[in-house]
Homo-oligomer: A and B are copies of this chain.
Amino acid sequence: MEKNKPIIVRYGEIGVKSPKVRKRFEKKLISNIKSVVDGKIVLNQGRIFLFPEDQEKAIESLKKICGVVSFSPTVETVTDHDAIKETVEAYMKKLIEDGVFSPEKSFAVKCRRVGTHEFSSREMAGFCGSVVVELTGAPVNLSNPDFRLNVEVREGRTYIFHEKIQGIGGLPLGTQGRMIALVSGGIDSPVASFLMMKRGCDLTILNFDNCPYTSGSNEKIIKIYKKLKEYAAGSDLRLYQVNYGGFLQKCEEEAPSRMTCVLCKSGMYQIAEKLAQREKAFAIIDGSSVGQVASQTLPNILATRHSTSMPILSPLIGLDKLEISEMAKKIGTFDISILPDGGCSAAPKHPETNAVLEKVLETQEEISMDAELEAVFSTLKRLDLELD
């Protein structure tokens, strides 16, 4: 019985691509699903039919697979009136038992059909409707029913379902190339990373260990990595870290103190660009949002990005803190991000908010930033390989 409970999986934007691109995307989506769900997968006219070993487990996995727009757990039977009658009866009895349906609710049956049959879709919907009326006595309401039963006939197999569970949407992970994601322990950068994964990008996460200006504990970043990993089915999500405290100390000692945050950010982008070359990545992603904190002003963004030639993508740049926090709650990183970590003590009391590009470049020169960053980059280590 368990093996006869397939799931119909719907995907969205892939549909609008050229046949060649579509085929590539579908193949990747199927292989991503296979990497976390045991079972058979059949592609049939723009829908994925997944026959999982364990339907419950598969449902939880599908909720976190990039590119899945929605899906419906079904019960399968052969395309035969007696078999369908029996299956619909058992299906509705179960829903009544579970409190999902009750006879005072109005209902409608919707039928979709692929293949040649002796009956029309409307006739099959009518047939199933009469089965439900006979069983429950519930009133039919075609225009605005309380409950909708779906019957999907595909050649010799028929699928019964009523739920449409939302997926996270987007594109299959691994169809868009790799990016370097700057991720801290804050609320924003994990959300920015998630959004780009959702748009199909493989990620290499880069974290900066600012010890002794921060606690030096990797607990938060590892928790965030593990949470993001839940959405990375089929992708090699990597986590790197460099020691950045020495560079911050240099900034503190030799540069104007108000410039620390600007130099720190500029340095992060430059390190990310070095890593991008090694990782064959096409872009850097961060959690910047205009005007959210004093250092995220347009002049500062201009000055901090100038020394990097790779595109820096900031998917949160136009969002409010409230909107970002809502997203963080939805994906499950919020509770990790708000764990107290003392913040960064290298940040000056009055950080520069109106950085002048020439001044920043001059200072970078004065503190031999290039050489300093080479030293930082030599501390690069990969953290995820040590995890269970």
**Chain A residues in the interface with B (C-beta under 8 A):** 12-13, 17-18, 21, 169-171, 175-177, 179, 192, 195-196, 198-201, 282-283, 289-292, 294, 297-299, 301-302, 305-306, 309-323
Closest chain B residue to A197 by CB distance? B318
A306 to B311, CA, bound (A): 8
Q: Which residues of B contact A292 (CB under 8 A)?
A: 13
A291 to B175, CA, bound (A): 9
Show 13 residue pairs from A and B whose CB-CB distance is below 8 angstroms, ordered by the A residue.
A13-B320, A177-B298, A195-B317, A196-B290, A198-B320, A200-B290, A282-B302, A283-B298, A290-B313, A305-B311, A313-B318, A314-B314, A315-B318
**B311 pairs with A282, CB closer than 8 A:** no
Q: Which residues of B contact A283 (CB under 8 A)?
A: 298, 301-302
A312 to B176, CA, bound (A): 20
Min CB gap A277→B, angstroms: 12
A200 to B323, CA, bound (A): 16
**A291 pairs with B192, CB closer than 8 A:** no
What does DSSP make chain A's interface, helix, strand, loop or mixed?
loop
**B311 pairs with A312, CB closer than 8 A:** yes
Give how many copies assemble into the complex: 2
Q: Which residues of B contact A310 (CB under 8 A)?
A: 302
Pick the contact of A199 from B13, B195, B305, B317 — CB < 8 Å? B317
Pick the contact of A299 from B177, B294, B305 — CB < 8 Å? B177
Q: Which residues of B contact A198 (CB under 8 A)?
A: 318, 320
**B289 pairs with A199, CB closer than 8 A:** yes
**A169 pairs with B298, CB closer than 8 A:** no
Q: Which residues of B contact A309 (CB under 8 A)?
A: 306
Q: Which residues of B contact A318 (CB under 8 A)?
A: 192, 195-196, 198-199, 313, 315-316
Please judge, given known A-B contacts A171-B291, A200-B290, A201-B290, whether A301 and B320 are in contact too, CB under 8 Å: no
Q: Which residues of B contact A18 (CB under 8 A)?
A: 294
Min CB gap A338→B, angstroms: 15
Min CB gap A197→B, angstroms: 9
Q: Which residues of B contact A321 (CB under 8 A)?
A: 13
Listed from nearest, the 3 A-B pairs whose CB atoms lie closest are A195-B318, A315-B318, A282-B298
**B176 pairs with A298, CB closer than 8 A:** yes
**A298 pairs with B13, CB closer than 8 A:** no
Further pairs besides A17-B294, A169-B323, A196-B318: 10, Cβ < 8 Å: A12-B320, A175-B291, A176-B297, A195-B319, A199-B291, A199-B320, A201-B290, A283-B301, A302-B311, A313-B317
**B314 pairs with A313, CB closer than 8 A:** yes
**A294 pairs with B199, CB closer than 8 A:** no
